[in-house]
Amino acid sequence: MYKTRLVEKTLKEAVRSFPAIFIGGPRRSGKTTLSKSFLKGYNYVLLDEIDVRSLAVEDPRGFLEKYPPPVIIDEIQNAPGLLSHIKARIEQNKKPGQWVLTGSQQWALMKGISETLAGRIAILHLLPFSLEEVQDTARLKLSDADGFINFLFHATMLPEKTLPLGRWILQGGYPEVVLNQRMSRKLWFSSYLQTYVDRDVRSYIKQSNLHDFERFVKLLAARTAQELNCSTLSRDIGVSVPTIKSWLTLLEASGIIFFLMPYHNNFGKRIIKAPKCYFIDTGIVSYLVGLQSEQHALSGPMNGALFETACVAQFYKRFSALADPCSLYYYRSTDGLEVDLLIETGKTIYPIEIKLSSTIDYGRVSSLKKWLEISRIKDVCGLVISTSKELGAMGGNVVNCHYSLI
């Protein structure tokens, strides 16, 4: 079953403008399904097949003659030497939409694409399903951040199909887990993480450090939505701080985690400098920390961090898919003022608080009120994302939004 993806709008624009398009993202995020379903009339070739990969590596010219454009070349990281030959073809014919390349985001591959096809290729990112995509409520017309947040401010009805919060957190957004209810969640994530280590990590990490790396990923999962402290991680794992930083870079490049940087306009206060680390998928976090059921996810000690991770990741996925130039930050001053998420657009800054509660009142959002006061930004409301179904203004200039709408 195919679900509409937010990135479709960006992909449609890209094939009209660039001779080559690269669709990257974590493994099993749906790149092949998207490209084959959305790009009708394209030839398709998979470089995972041994004979096909051998032809691409040993005779790239012959390969490109056998699979002429418009063509989808899947798992391009298996034959990176093709990139220079594709560049030569593009120099002869710059017609848009000829080459669609897909692959897992790896350091060497992304470097090769940037160096070889700079200015000739559009780079798109496909992440696991967002909540909009799971619920079949993808709002492709709300393509900019201002329009989407304005929709959240003024929403009056919940979606017809609302995904239960516990299920959303526990299953995450990887298509095979979401679409196949018979799939063993535990077995799938176990296999996925083992495959990830074998295919994407092993060549970058010393054999003696692989066990430490696996411990590191589990420890990091338990600290999702927290400020990053490399020194503490280094001490707990027993490896150097530079090693921790290199592992973080590897996880970020592979589409497993992302960072929120602190907002630097400090309004006269000194703010915390460390970024906050989030996992892109709460299903992976739930598996790594040993959550067994929806109730366990909602009532355990990590429930607030998991809800925050799920919500912040939705904004990250949406804006990444639609190539929106807005920036995401968090705010925390040394005197305790904290705002979970700031979305900075070309027009203004929107402050957002994320609260796992079905009862929200104006007295419990003092951080939003204070931030709006000290920021002195005119005509901006604060947004609370919660499990409360009481939508709309809570008092003053603060609005409540149910999580299912994001």
**Residue 394: predicted pLDDT:** 84
Residues 326, 357 contacting (CB under 8 angstroms): no
Order of strands, sheet of 20-25, starting from the edge strand that comes earlier in the sequence:
43-46, 71-74, 99-104, 20-25, 121-125
Query: Given a cut of 90, is residue 268 above it in pLDDT?
Result: no
Give the largest CA-CA distance in the chain: 69
Ranges of CATH 3.40.50.300 domains, the chain: 7-125
8-state DSSP, 96:
T
DSSP string, 265-311: --TTS-B--SPEEEES-HHHHHHHTT--SHHHHHHSTTHHHHHHHHH
Q: Which of 29-33, 128-132, 214-218, 250-254 has the lowest mean pLDDT?
A: 250-254
Across the range 35-41, mean pLDDT stands at 92
**Residue 377: predicted pLDDT:** 86
Query: Given a cut of 70, is residue 362 above it in pLDDT?
Result: no
**Residue 267: predicted pLDDT:** 56
Across the range 347-351, mean pLDDT stands at 95
**Residue 270: predicted pLDDT:** 59
C-alpha pair distances (Å), 326 with each of 315, 354, 401? 10, 19, 20
The model carries a pTM of 0.93
Dihedral pair phi/psi, residue 380, rounded to 5°: -125, 135
Question: In sequence order, what are the residues at sequence separation of 6 or more whose Cβ sits closer than 8 angstroms to the Cβ of residue 398?
Answer: 362, 365, 368, 369, 381, 382, 383, 384
Whole-number Å distance between alpha carbons of 247 and 315? 25
**Residue 101: predicted pLDDT:** 95
**Residue 105: predicted pLDDT:** 60
Q: 74: part of which helix (H) or strand (E)?
A: strand 71-74
Q: What percent of the chain has pLDDT over 70?
A: 97
Whole-number Å distance between alpha carbons of 351 and 149? 11
CATH fold of 7-125 reads Rossmann fold (3.40.50)
In tens, the pLDDT along 296-336 reads: 999 999 999 999 999 999 999 999 999 999 999 999 988 88
Across the range 335-354, mean pLDDT stands at 93
Query: Given a cut of 80, is residue 202 above it in pLDDT?
Result: no
Query: Given a cut of 70, is residue 125 above it in pLDDT?
Result: yes
Instruction: Look at 209 and 214; give whichever has higher pLDDT.
Output: 214
Across the range 225-252, mean pLDDT stands at 95
Question: In sequence order, what are the residues at sequence separation of 6 or more whose Cβ sits closer than 8 angstroms to the Cβ of residue 40?
Answer: none
Name which of 324, 312, 282, 260 is nearest 125 in CA terms: 324
**Within its chain, how far is the Cα of 312 from the centroid?**
9
**Within its chain, how far is the Cα of 204 from the centroid?**
22
**Residue 269: predicted pLDDT:** 58
Q: What percent of the chain has pLDDT over 90?
A: 73
Confidence of residue 39 (pLDDT cuts 50, 70, 90): very high
Q: Where are the alpha helices (DSSP H) in 22-144?
A: 31-38, 50-58, 60-66, 82-92, 107-116, 131-134
